[in-house]
Amino acid sequence: MKITIKYRSIGGWSFRYAELLAHATWVPIMNAAVQAYRNVATSSELREIARLRSKAGHDEAQALHNARRKEREKLQGVIDEKDAVLAEQAGVIDEQAALIAELQAQLYKGE
């Protein structure tokens, strides 16, 4: 088998990357590592672990989302209560302003 060697210069260094790549595939340790990776990647147990890890991440994100939603609802309830109190007070102030205006009219009428 003939290997074509190409040279690439990076930062003043020359690399024979084609030769190194071809040599790396001939090394038995590399072949064993590649085979081990393929075995791990296809293992049903590891796929199940990866699925459970993904599900746990999703469940955690969903729990955070629900907690934030409940907190917003709680705060909105407090805001609505305060708005109701302010509206009630505004109604009282309006009644008092009307009463003051009526009393002033009677006062000026009596002059």
Domain ranges of the chain: 8-109
Q: What is the pLDDT of residues 59-84, one digit of tens each?
A: 999 999 999 999 999 999 999 999 99
- What is the DSSP code (8-state) at residue 14? E
> Do residues 31 and 25 touch, judged by C-beta distance below 8 A?
yes
> Do residues 18 and 5 touch, judged by C-beta distance below 8 A?
yes
Q: With 70 as the cut, is the pLDDT of residue 1 above it?
A: no
Report the chain's mean pLDDT, rounded to a whole number: 78
Please tell me the predicted confidence (pLDDT) of residue 59: 95
